Amino acid sequence: MEPTAITDGAEVLVVDRDAATRDQLNRAFTRCGIMCTEAVDGESALRLGGPSARDGAAHLSAAVIKFVLPGMSGPELAWRLHEAHPGIWIVGVSGDLDLWDMNDLHDLGICEAMPEPVDAGEIVRSVAEALSCRRERKV
């Protein structure tokens, strides 16, 4: 996927304890023109993209959150980011998706849930499609 006007200026927060996964997603988003910020856990993610984060966090377009994180769980983080950024597109990633009810995840602000292992291309497509729909509604 090439950078487009849809992805221009978009920012995604990737939260995963695994550095290789964060790096893989960072590279994939960057190739598409989406700025990527990484965090290893929920607390650092909130410092980067929560309600008291730097001014640039107001432009947070999406987040990719691993469900199992050190400290705060991924679903709790999703809820807190959703509260700070209404309308944010959140992709949850879990090795145990069958343990979750999608309606409950939607209530937490998670828009889409994807299984592990992470498919960077599929996640980038999900985020880019969400951004495209959002831009079309604003026009």
Query: What are the structural domains of the chain?
Result: 11-134 (3.40.50.2300)
Look at residue 86 and give its three-state secondary structure: coil
Question: What's the start-to-end Cα distance of the chain, in Å?
Answer: 23
User: Running DSSP on this structure, what letter comes out for residue 108?
Assistant: T
In the predicted model, what is the mean pLDDT of residues 49-59?
A: 55
Q: What is the pLDDT of residue 87?
A: 85
In the predicted model, what is the mean pLDDT of residues 63-80?
A: 96
- Give the pair of three-digit tokens for residue 13: 């927060």
| pTM for the whole structure | 0.87
What is the Cα–Cα distance from 135 to 103, expressed in whole angstroms?
25
